[in-house]
Amino acid sequence: MEMYPMWIGGEKVTGKREAGVKNPFDNKTIGKITFADSNIFAKAIDEAEKGFEISRKLPAWERAEILYRAAEIMKKRKEELVMTIVNEAGKPYKFAVGEVNRGIENTIFAAEQAKNIYGEVIPMDASAGGVGKTGYYRWEPVGIVFGVVPFNFPLNLMLHKVLPAIAAGNSVIIKPSTYTPITSYILGEILKEAGLPDGIYNTIYGMGGEIGKMMVAEPRIKVISFTGSYEVGRWISERAAMKRILLEMGNNSPVIVDSDANLEKTVKRLAIGAYAYAGQICISVQRIYVNKKFYKKFVDKFLEEAESTPAGDPKDPETVVGPLIDEKEFYRIVFWVNDAATEGADVLPSIKGDNNVLHPIVLLNTNHRMNVVSKEVFGPVVSIMKYSNFEEAVSLANDTVYGLQVGVYANDINKINYAVEKLKFAGVIINDYPTFRVDHMPYGGIKNSGMGREGVRYSIKEMMEMKLVVIQDI
């Protein structure tokens, strides 16, 4: 069984405690890793500190060239990356291909952005006290960035932490999910081949609680970029002292469908948004509010789409719904659905699943007291509810502690403007599902969905410091 070491200071490092990496579909062990202890963690910090001293001195063009080369190597190793994601994350093949393609594009975005980090001249003489002075500011890298990556996008969400750190001239330590560490190992090989100096990219494997305590206590870590649950994100924010934190903590994405929406196109798009990768995407469609004039037609059509959505082996190119990440998640979701049923919800079709694959579920007659509506399901479950007027729909969509992205299907410009003004979400997607994301746009949440923004251009500024320079004229 192949061992996948940690990358620390350009070297492959193993610890004493072993763990297996399993395929969530067939439960077969596909590799082994070892966990970091406090000594290995300390070594990673030391090496990342050395790496930062190298990284901060690399010219922008050289950082860009390294990233361009990394993108080319990713293209050559595309199928390997795809199958690694399929095997360790259980992501259906077609969506793993999409993730790798996005990762390549994201790396190119970062290479381009590395050459476009500008300061600005300040008109000092705008103040009477500033006459005779020249002022400007420049951006400087902060130091060590620590990235915590979830299982569901083991490549691209990792790149959203690694790429801006490198482009800005920082060093980075990545803690991947223990479900999906192999992708981070392969990225280390790619960056090394691309010519990234040792110590700039490092990885740490281990349980979140153990690594988290060391992470928040380490003063040399300047930025923590975390993607995961609200509970863990809040724990980090309460303990991270003076560290800068970027938090992306999920959603329970609503969609408003007005009566003038195109039924066929809307249903097909929302079914993909709900069921792709078994709903294990933080902006998966979870709550659909449909105009009552349109409700029955919409539900009938959506049920047809749900029942015909391919579920099963993630290696099958046609599969949309693959396995949940583990058995515990499978049974949690089933419990939530059964709990909703006891409170009066209709479960359509009946619950069906095996090999951690839960077939698509549609819930009717739900309410906002139920876990399946108020919390993040993170599974292939959708609640469809009706509304009487557009203002009510917006109010229902807002009735959540989350605020990442929301979708609105409407053609009336007045309703669109009302939605943009009133919806309390960081992203409002008009006439598409809330699952939409391209990697150069500002992406992040408000409320319990987090703080800060991803997208290389935006993350770079979170990972740099502004330095003001004022020069007295002679």
Q: What pLDDT digit, counting tens, does each position of 165-197 carry?
A: 999 999 999 999 999 999 999 999 999 999 999
**47 and 10 within one domain:** yes
Half-sphere exposure of 111 (CA within 13 A, CB side): 19
Catalytic residue numbers read 248, 282
**183 and 286 within one domain:** no
**Domains contained in the chain, number:** 2
Position 439 in a domain: no
**262 and 159 within one domain:** no
Position 360 in a domain: yes
- Helix, strand, coil fractions of the chain, as percent rounded to 5: 40, 25, 35
| Mean pLDDT computed over 266-280 | 98
**257 and 246 within one domain:** no
Q: Do 35 and 17 contact (CB within 8 A), yes or no?
A: yes
> pLDDT confidence of 241, banded at 50, 70, 90?
confident
**413 and 302 within one domain:** yes
φ/ψ of residue 262, rounded to 5: -75, 115
pLDDT at 19 over 90: yes
DSSP-derived 3-state class of residue 442: coil
Q: Return the pLDDT at 348.
A: 94
Q: Return the pLDDT at 118.
A: 95
State the CATH number of the domain containing residue 330.
3.40.309.10
Report the b/e string of 354-369 with b at 16+ CB within 10 A: ebbbbbbbbbbbbeee
Position 161 in a domain: yes
| Mean pLDDT computed over 291-296 | 95
**264 and 145 within one domain:** no
At residue 113, what is the residue type?
Q
pLDDT (tens digit per residue) in 317-329: 999 999 999 999 9
pLDDT (tens digit per residue) in 24-44: 999 999 999 999 999 999 999
Q: Return the pLDDT at 189.
A: 98
Position 441 in a domain: no
Q: Return the pLDDT at 474.
A: 87
**282 and 204 within one domain:** no
Q: Return the pLDDT at 422.
A: 98
State the CATH number of the domain containing residue 107.
3.40.605.10
| Mean pLDDT computed over 388-406 | 98
Q: Return the pLDDT at 356.
A: 96
pLDDT (tens digit per residue) in 97-108: 999 999 999 999
Q: Return the DSSP state at 310.
A: -
**310 and 217 within one domain:** no
Q: Return the pLDDT at 28.
A: 97
Of 306, 283, 381, 329, nearest to 24 by C-alpha is 329
pLDDT (tens digit per residue) in 123-150: 999 999 999 999 999 999 999 999 999 9
Position 435 in a domain: no
Q: Judge if the upstream peptide bond of residue 349 is cis by omega within 30 degrees of 0.
A: yes
Position 203 in a domain: yes
Compute the distance between CA of residue 42 and CA of residue 30 in angstroms, rounded to an integer.
Answer: 29
Locate 12 and state its tokens: 């492959």
**270 and 155 within one domain:** no
Position 151 in a domain: yes
Q: Can you give the residue range of the structural domain that contains 39?
A: 6-250+447-472
**241 and 351 within one domain:** no
| Mean pLDDT computed over 302-309 | 97
Of 376, 471, 438, 452, nearest to 145 by C-alpha is 452
**173 and 283 within one domain:** no
Q: Return the pLDDT at 349.
A: 87
| Mean pLDDT computed over 109-124 | 97
pLDDT at 1 over 90: no
Position 298 in a domain: yes
**132 and 32 within one domain:** yes
pTM listed for this prediction: 0.96
| Mean pLDDT computed over 366-389 | 98
Q: Do 94 and 40 contact (CB within 8 A), yes or no?
A: no
| Mean pLDDT computed over 67-89 | 98
Locate 241 and state its tokens: 């002292």
